[in-house]
Amino acid sequence: MATTVMPELLQPDASESTGHPLDGIFRPRSVAVVGVTPTRGTVPYDIFYNILSSGYTGTLYPVAPGKRSICAVRAYRYVVDIEDPVDMAVIVFPADVVERALEQCGRQGIKSVIVISAGFREVGPKGAQREQRLKDICAEYGISLVGPNCLGVINTDPAVRLNASFARKMPAAGRIAFLSQSGALCTAVLDYARAKQIGFSKFVSFGNKAGVTEIELFDYLHRDEQTDVILLYLEELRDGRGLIEAAQRVTRGDNAKPILAIKSGRTPQGADAAASHTGSLAGEDPVCDAVFREAGIIRIGSIEEMFNAAIMYAYQPMPEGNRLAIVTNAGGPGVMATDAAVSAGLSIPRFAESTTASLRASLPAAANLKNPVDVIGDARADRYTAALEAVLADPNVDQALVILTPQSMTDIDAIARGICRIHEQAAKPIACSFMGAADVHSGVRLLQAAHIPHYILPEWAGDAMASVQQIRLWRRQPIGQPTLLPVDHQAARAIIDSSSPGYLSEDQALVVLEAYGLPIPTYRLCPSADEAVAFAEQIGYPVVLRAISPQIVHKSEVKGVTLNLTDADAVRGAFDRMHHHLASVAPEAEIHGMLVRGMIPDGYEVILGAKRDPSFGPTLMFGLGGIYVGLFKDVTFGLAPIAQATAARMVRQVKAYQLLEGARGGARADIESIEQCLVRVGQLITDFDRIVELDINPLIAGELEIGNAVADVRIRLGD
Amino acid sequence: MATTVMPELLQPDASESTGHPLDGIFRPRSVAVVGVTPTRGTVPYDIFYNILSSGYTGTLYPVAPGKRSICAVRAYRYVVDIEDPVDMAVIVFPADVVERALEQCGRQGIKSVIVISAGFREVGPKGAQREQRLKDICAEYGISLVGPNCLGVINTDPAVRLNASFARKMPAAGRIAFLSQSGALCTAVLDYARAKQIGFSKFVSFGNKAGVTEIELFDYLHRDEQTDVILLYLEELRDGRGLIEAAQRVTRGDNAKPILAIKSGRTPQGADAAASHTGSLAGEDPVCDAVFREAGIIRIGSIEEMFNAAIMYAYQPMPEGNRLAIVTNAGGPGVMATDAAVSAGLSIPRFAESTTASLRASLPAAANLKNPVDVIGDARADRYTAALEAVLADPNVDQALVILTPQSMTDIDAIARGICRIHEQAAKPIACSFMGAADVHSGVRLLQAAHIPHYILPEWAGDAMASVQQIRLWRRQPIGQPTLLPVDHQAARAIIDSSSPGYLSEDQALVVLEAYGLPIPTYRLCPSADEAVAFAEQIGYPVVLRAISPQIVHKSEVKGVTLNLTDADAVRGAFDRMHHHLASVAPEAEIHGMLVRGMIPDGYEVILGAKRDPSFGPTLMFGLGGIYVGLFKDVTFGLAPIAQATAARMVRQVKAYQLLEGARGGARADIESIEQCLVRVGQLITDFDRIVELDINPLIAGELEIGNAVADVRIRLGD
C-alpha cells in the first residue's frame, strides 16, 4: 500500500477557479465523502483513501455515521454537520440511501456531487424511479451531478491532484482527457495506459449521466488548459443535436481540440447488450455515424486504436497532408504498412529527384530507394538516420514512419537515439514501429520518452496517422447553420393539422411536398373517368392513373397504378378497370378517385427519407433507390434540419453519386436540385413534430434540363 | 550471450528420418555451413554459432577457406574436403560465390541446401540470372534448395534442435509452424511470440523460393507430428492451382491442419512495394482471395490476428458451432465484445431456462443474467466460476469468453485459477480477456501457462474464434474435381485455330460459345438486307441487327446495333442506315454483314468473365452486370476449371444473388443454369491456351421457364 500523503492543512485556495460550473467537480477546495466505511477493499473506503493518499491539495471530510474518524481523519455523522463550506460531495452510500444524502447536500449548499453508487436506471424501472428523484433534487438545489453508477473523477493537475475514484492508482499527468460511460472500462484503460506511459489530464466516468453528460464535459475540457485531446467511450447517445453543437464548438476554431470516440452497440446484438446493462437506448448505428460526422467526432473501433490515434495527435505536429514516407529494414513489413496506410486513406508518394539522389549516396546498392525505402536487414543507425533525414526533407512527404525488425546486427538503441535526435529538429510528424517485444524493448522506451509515437504493428501507425488526417480535414470542412429555404408553411399545416394519425393520402402528401417546394409533377385527383380524361387532355398524353384511398398505402400491391395511358379510351378503360379491381380485392377501401398525372421522364432513382428517431429527433436519409437500395445499403444519414453544405456532402457520400455525376456514360443529374430537395425534406420534418416518417421513393433524378420529380411519396403522422 | 552447448559426439542417428525429401532440410544428421567467417555479429558467423549453441543433435562442419577452426571446431577449405557424408549445407557466401559453392555441394552428393545469401532475383535482372543458375545446378544434382535471400530454418524438435538461421534466439518448442517469404519479418515474429509465450514446431524463411516453395512445405508439415497449425506470410503467389491442391490436402481429411496466411500487397501501392523489394509479381488481390478460398487457407490481415487465431485453434477444442457466451464484470467491454463477435460472424445465443436459473442462484440481483452475463464490477472468483460453469453447460453455447476489468476488489489471480480449473474439465473452448496491463499481468500468466488463449482486447478474442469457425466450416464444405460437361471441342477449335491474334468477330465468338453449350439466341450473319429480312421472317419479329466487322469491337460506340425492329421495312431500313453510317464513321471497317437475332426477354444482367492471369493461369469472374458492376464491385473470382459446387458458391458470393433468388419481389432466375454457364466458360478458357480474355457482358438471366441468354460477348486470342 502506498504511503498516505496527508493534504496540507488550511489550503483552501490551492486550486484556482476557472469560473466554470464544473469547477466544483474538477477543482473543489473541499470534498466530503459521504458514506465512508472503515473496511479496506470496499468502494466507500477506497474512494476516501484514494483522495487522501493521492496528494489532494484541498480539504477532505469523511461522512461516516457512527465513526469518530476514518484513517485518523475526524468523521461527521451527516454532511450537514460539517461546519466549513464544502464544494463537492462524493456519495458512496447504497442506492436506497443516496436520495437522502443528496437532499442533505442540497440543504448544505453543496453544488457539485458525484454519485458513485450503482442500483439506478441500469437495474430496471424501480432504479429508474430512484434516478428520477435524484434528478429532481438536483434541479431543486441547482446541483451538478456526475453519475450515478460510475467510477468517479480524476484530475491530475498538480494544483488539485484529485483522485475521487476507486481506480487502483492515480494516472500520470498528461494532455489527454478520457471520458467514459462505462466505469469498469476505466480501470482497464488506466492500467493499459500506464503500461504505454500515457498520462491523462482528466479522467471522468460519468455512468448513467443523470446530470452531467458528455456535452457539459466537452465544454469544460475545451477551456481546460491541461487538455489537448478528448477521448470518449459512449454507450448511449441521447441528444444528437446538442452533441453536434457542443462538439463543433470544441473541434473547430482557434482552440480546436479533437474528440475521438468509441460508440458501442454497433450491431443490433451489441445494442441489445448495451440496453440490458445500462438501460440505455442505443439509437440506430448509421445515425450515430451521421451525428459523429456532423459533430466532427472521429469514430474509432477499439481502445487500442483510440490511444494509437491520440498519442499521434498529442505528441506530433499536425501534418500538412496525407503523404507518408516509410523507412524500413524489412521489405515485408514495409509492404504490409503500405497496404494498411493506403487502405486507411494515406498516400505513398514518389520522392523528389534530390531525395533519391541523397538516398543513393547513403545506402548500399541493394537498398530500395523508392518509397517504402528499404535500408536492408543489416542496416545500422547511420543508414536509418540518413534515410529518415532524406525523406523528411522531401517536399512530397508530409510525415514518416520508421519500421525496424531486430536483426542480429541491428543496433536498436542507437537507431532509436538517432530518430530522437532527428525528431527534435523535425517539423513533420514521425512515428515508429520497432517490431517484436523483448529485443526492441529498450529502444521503444527511448522513443516513448521522447514522445515519438510507437506502434507494435506498423499497420497501426498508418491507422493512427489516418485518424489525424481526419482531424485535419474536419477543421477545413465548411459547416454552416441549417439552410432555411422559403416554404409555404401554412399550406402544409392546413393538411397536417386536419389529418388523423396514420398515412396521408397521396394527394394530401403531394400538397404538403409542394408547399415545401419539392418537384411535383402536375396532377389532379379526379373522382370520375370523365374528369380524368378531361385533365389528361389538358396536360397531354401519356398519363398515369393512381388510385387514391386512405385504406391503400401500397398501391402496386393491389394494382392501384396504371402507367403509360396514351389516349382518352385508354384512360377511361383503366379508370373503370381499376375501380372494378379494387372493389374486388380491397372492398373495404373507400376510393376517393384516381390521381392523374403525366409520365415522369427517365432518370436515376434515388430515395429521400426522413424519420423521427427516439434518440436523435428528426433524421434524414439519402440513397440509391430501386431494388438496389436493399441490396447494397448505399445510403447515408443526417440530422435534420441540414445546411446546404451538409446536403452536398450527403449526396456525395453514397457510391451512386458517381452515376448522378454521369461517370458511367450516363447523363449528369441535376445534383444541386437533389441537395435542395434534401434540405426541404429536412425542414419539413423539423417544422412538423407530427410527421413520424416520410419517404420519397423514388425521386426520379433527371438530367440538368429535365430536373427531378417525386414519383411516389408516403407521409405518416403520429398523434 | 547464451552458453555454448556442444553437440554430443558421434550421434549420427539421433534424428529419425520420416522418409520425406525435406527431411534433409529439417532433420539432417550432419550440416555444413559453407562460407563461415570468424567475426561475431556477421550473418555467416551467427548462423554457424546458432547451430552450434542451440543443441543441435547432429554433426556440424564449418567450411571457411583459410581458417583452421571456427569456435574451436575444425574447419574445411571446401565442402568437397569433408570426409564424412553431409546431409545438408547452409551457404552463407556472398552472392557471386554461391554458385560455385552450390556446384561443389552437388558434386559432394549433398541433396539439401539452404542459401541464406541475398543478391539474387530481388536486386534485378543480373540477380535473376544468378538465381536461374542456382536452379539449373539444383536440377542437375537433384538438390532441394531453400532460399536464396532468407533467414534460414529452425526445427525445435528435441530430437533435432536445429537453429540454422540468424535469428537472435531459438524459439520455444510448440505446435505452430511458421513459414515466411520475408526473412526480416521472422526475427520480429520470433521476438513477439516469445513475449506471448508462443512456441513453434518449425520456423522457415523461404525467401525467393527458387527451389522449395510453400507448396512442398505444406506437404512436409502435413505429415509432421509436431505441427498442428501452419502460419504463412506470403508476398508472391506463383502457382495458384498447385497451391490449391496442396493446401486442400493439408486442410481437409483425417489429419487436417489449418493454414492461416497473410498475403501482402493487398492494395496496388502495396503490390508495387512488394514488386520493388522482391521482384515478385503480386497477382490481382481478389484472385488471391479466390485462390485462398478454394484452397481452404484462412486469409488474415496482420501478424497479431494470425497468432490470435493460431493459439485459439491450437490450444482449444474445435467448437461445435458459432454460438458464444460472454461473462464479464464490466458492461461496456461486454458490449464491445458483442459488437465485434457479431461482426465477425459469431452469434450471441439466448440461454436455456436452466442456465438462467442457475445464474440467478449464484449472482447478485443487480447482475445481468442474459448473454453477455454481467457479474458486476465487484465480482470475485466465486461469481466468475459459477457463471462460467453455468454458461458452458448450456446446450445453446458452443464456446465462452471471459472478460475481466481490474476493480479494486477483483481477486484477479483467484479468478484466473478458477478458470483454469474449469478449463481442465471443459469440452468447449474458453478464451479470456483480462483488460489492462500491470494489474492483470500475473493472472494472464496463469492463463497462458494453462494454454487458455488470452487477448488484451476482448474484440480480438471474437476475431480469433471467428477464424476457428472458418476452419470448421471449410472442413465441411463440399469440394470436388472440376466438373467436365460435354462440349463440342472440335467446333470451337476450328474457329480458334484459324483465327489470328486479337478479338474474334461476334459470329465466330458465338460459334465458340455455342460449341461449349452456352445459351445463344438463334442468329444468322446476313450479308444483305434481303437475307436479313428473310431470316427475321423465319424467326419472327421483333429482331435485332448487329454489325459484324473485324475492326469493330465496341459496336454501340459506332451505332452498330439496332434493337426492336418490328417488321420487314424496319429491318431493311435499319440495315441500310447502319451500313451507311458505318461507312462514314468507320470507313476502314470491313463489314461482313449484319447479325440478325431475336430480342432477348427481360432478365437480370450478370457478367461472366474469364482471363488468363500471369500468376494463376485461367481465372473466372462472376458478378452483377450493367452500370452497377463498376459502382459496387459486386464480383467474385475463381480459378478455372471449376467444380459445379464452386460455381454454386461463386454465384452465392455476390450480393446480387439475392436478386437472382427473387428476394426483392422479382422473379427467381434460373440459377443452376447460370452455374453451368460458369463451369462451361471455365472449361473453355482451360481448353484453349490462346484465349487471353473472354467477357460475356451481359448474360441475361431470365426466369426459370425462360432461361438465360448471352446478349454480348468478346473473346480475345493471344499468339
The helix/strand/coil state of A160 is coil
Residues B215 and B219: their CA atoms lie apart, in Å, by 7
Give the whole-angstrom CA distance, residue B150 versus residue B156: 18
Question: Which residues in chain A have Cβ-Cβ distances shorter than 8 Å to B278?
Answer: 331
Residues B52 and B60 sit within 8 Å (Cβ to Cβ): yes
**Cβ proximity of A549 and A505 under 8 Å:** yes
- Higher-confidence residue: B401 or A340? B401
Please report whether residue B2 resides in a domain. Answer: no
- Given a cut of 90, whether residue B266 has pLDDT beyond it is no
Q: Does any domain span residue A386?
A: yes
Q: Does B345 contact A at CB distance below 8 Å?
A: no
Please give the distance of CA B445 from its chain centroid, rounded to a whole number. Answer: 33
* DSSP category for residue B477: S
Residue B339, chain A, CB below 8 Å: the answer is: yes
Q: Give the nearest partner residue to B343 out of A267, A276, A457, using CB atoms.
A: A267
Chain B touched by A231 (CB under 8 Å): no
Nearest to B631 among A278, A333, A659 (CB): A659
Backbone angles phi, psi at A220, to 5 degrees: -65, -45
Asked if B686 is an interface residue toward chain A (Cβ–Cβ < 8 A), one would say no
- B contact residues 520-559, partner A, Cβ 8 Å cutoff: none
- Is A444 within the bounds of a domain? yes
User: Are A273 and B377 in contact (CB < 8 Å)?
Assistant: no
Which triple of cell numbers denotes residue B273? 512495394
Mutate to test the interface with B, among A49, A267, A336, A441 (most CBs of B within 10 A): A336
Binned at pLDDT 50, 70 and 90, residue B16 comes out as low
Residues of chain A with C-beta less than 8 angstroms from the C-beta of B412: none
Which residue stretches of A367-427 are H helix?
381-392, 412-425
As a whole number, mean pLDDT of residues A695-711 equals: 87
Q: What are phi and psi of A489, to 5 degrees?
A: -60, -40
> Does residue B16 belong to any structural domain of this protein?
no
Among candidate residues A506, A510, A505, A535, the one with its CA nearest the CA of residue A521: A510
User: Does A435 reach chain B within 8 Å, measured CB to CB?
Assistant: yes
- Residue B262 touches chain A, beta carbons under 8 Å: yes
A621, containing H or E segment: strand A617-624
Residue B564 maps to which CATH number?
Answer: 3.30.1490.20
Same domain? A190 vs A263: yes
Provide the edge-to-edge strand list for the sheet that holds B200-205: B162-165, B152-155, B200-205, B173-180, B229-234, B259-263, B297-299
Instruction: Kindly state whether residues A278 and A326 are assigned to the same domain.
Output: no
A11 assigned to some structural domain: no
Which chain A residues contact residue B182 at CB under 8 A? 330-333
pLDDT tens-digit profile of A23-50? Answer: 999 999 999 999 999 988 788 999 999 9
* Cβ separation B406–A191 shorter than 8 A: yes
Chain B partners within 8 Å of A234 (Cβ): none
Q: What is the pLDDT of residue A16?
A: 60
Number of H helices, E strands in chain A: 24, 29
Q: Are A339 and B270 in contact (CB < 8 Å)?
A: yes
Which range has the worst mean pLDDT, A109-123, B491-505, B543-557? B543-557
Rounded CA separation A50/A58 (Å): 14
φ/ψ of B327, rounded to 5, equals: -120, 125
CATH of the domain at A670: 3.30.470.20
Cβ–Cβ gap B266/A185 under 8 Å? no
Q: Among B583, B598, B613, which residue terminates a domain?
A: B598
- Same domain membership, residue B370 and residue B305: no
Q: What is the pLDDT of residue A2?
A: 41
pLDDT tier at B182 (50, 70, 90 boundaries)?
Answer: confident
- pLDDT tens by residue, A186-221: 888 888 888 888 999 999 999 999 999 999 999 999
Q: What's the CATH number where A422 sits?
A: 3.40.50.261
Give B-chain residues touching A235 at CB under 8 angstroms. Answer: 331-332, 335
Q: How far is A180 from chain B (nearest CA, A)?
A: 9
Q: Which of B303, B339, B375, B456 to substitute to test the interface with A, most A CBs within 10 Å?
A: B339
Asked whether residue B705 is assigned to any structural domain, the reply reads yes
Q: Answer whether A184 sits within 8 Å of B332, measured CB to CB.
A: yes
Measured in degrees and rounded to the nearest 5, phi and psi for residue B5 equal -100, 115
Chain A hits for B627, CB-CB cut-off 8 Å, are 659, 664-666
| Beta carbons of B631 and A664 less than 8 Å apart | yes
* Mean pLDDT, rounded, for A346-370: 94
Nearest CB partner across the interface for A182, out of B181, B304, B331: B331
Nearest to A188 among B122, B435, B632 (CB): B435
Q: What's the rounded mean pLDDT across residues B603-609?
A: 90
Question: What's the whole-model pTM score?
Answer: 0.84
Q: What per-residue confidence (pLDDT) applies to A182?
A: 84
Question: Hey, of A189, A339, A405, A439, which one would you mutate to test binding to chain B, going by the most B CBs within 10 A of its CB?
Answer: A339
CB contact under 8 A, A332 and B265: no
**Statement to judge: residues A306 and A327 lie in one domain:** no
Can you tell me the mean pLDDT for B84-91?
A: 96
pLDDT(B667) > 50: yes
Residue B489 pLDDT greater than 90, yes or no: yes
Q: What was the pLDDT predicted at B275?
A: 63
Q: What is the pLDDT of residue A664?
A: 63
User: Both B306 and B396 in a single domain?
Assistant: no
Nearest residue in A to B46, CA atom: A408
Q: Do B182 and A368 touch (CB under 8 A)?
A: no
Preferred mutation among A205, A346, A408, A434 to probe B, highest tally of B CBs within 10 A: A408
> Do residues B105 and B228 both lie within one domain?
yes
For residues B335 and B465, state if they share a domain.
yes
From B262, B285, B312, the end of a domain falls on B312
Q: Which of A118, A457, A632 sits opposite B632 (nearest CB)?
A: A632
Domain count, chain B: 4
For chains A and B, CB pairs below 8 A equal 283
Q: Name the residue among A185, A339, A631 with its Cβ closest to that of B266.
A: A339
A484-529: pLDDT as tens digits? 999 999 999 999 999 999 999 999 999 999 999 999 999 999 999 9
What's the rounded mean pLDDT across residues B302-330? 94
Measured between CA atoms, the residue of chain B closest to residue A271 is B335
Three-state SS at B201: strand
Q: Which of A233, A368, A655 sits opposite B276 (nearest CB)?
A: A368
Indicate the residue of B196, B304, B405 with minimum beta-carbon distance to A188: B405
Is the residue at B158 inside a domain?
A: yes
- Torsion (CA) A643, A647, A652, A653 in degrees, nearest 10: 90
Q: Are residues A129 and A183 in the same domain?
A: yes
A187 contacts B664? CB cut-off 8 A: no
> Residue B220 in contact with residue B169, Cβ under 8 Å?
no
* Cβ atoms of residues A632 and B632 within 8 Å: yes
Give me the residues of B, 58-117, that contact A with CB < 8 A: none
Least confident of A67-71, A434-438, B262-266, B290-294: B262-266
What is the pLDDT, as a whole number, of residue B110?
Answer: 97
- Residues B301 and B320 reside in one and the same domain: no
Of the given ranges (A331-345, A439-453, B141-155, B655-669), which has the lowest mean pLDDT? B655-669
CB B176 within 8 A of CB B310: yes
* Structural domain contains residue B42: yes
Task: Give the lowest-confidence range in A149-153, B39-43, B496-500, B533-537.
Answer: B39-43
Do residues A143 and A102 touch, judged by C-beta distance below 8 A?
yes
Residues A551 and A680 in one domain: no
Residues A218, A97 share a domain: yes
Could you give the CA distance from residue A175 to residue A65 in angstroms, rounded to a whole number?
Answer: 39
Q: Which residue has the higher pLDDT, B482 or A25?
A: A25
Residues of chain B positioned with their CB less than 8 A from the CB of A457: 302-304
- At residue A271 the predicted structure's pLDDT band, cuts being 50, 70 and 90, is confident
Does A178 contact B at CB distance below 8 Å?
Answer: no
A274 touches chain B (CB under 8 A): yes
Instruction: Choose from A131, A281, A455, A631 for mutation: most chain B CBs within 10 A.
Output: A631
Residue A195 grid coordinates: 503500461
Retrieve residue A26's grid coordinates: 474538477
Buried b (16+ CB within 10 A) or exposed e, A236-265: bbbbbbebbebbbbbbbeeeebbbbbbbbb
Q: Could you tell me the pLDDT band of residue A267, with boundaries at 50, 70 and 90?
A: confident
Phi, psi for A506 (deg, rounded to 5): -60, -40
Measured between CA atoms, the residue of chain A closest to residue B189 is A436
Q: What is the mean pLDDT of chain B?
A: 90
B206 CB-near residues (< 8 Å, 6+ apart): B146, B147, B150, B179, B180, B181, B212, B213, B214, B217
- Does B143 share its domain with B260? yes
**A626 and B CB contact within 8 Å:** no
* Cβ contact, residue pair B664, A630, below 8 Å: yes
Tell me the residue range of the domain where B440 lies: 316-476
A418 touches chain B (CB under 8 A): no
Is B267 an 8 Å CB contact of chain A? yes
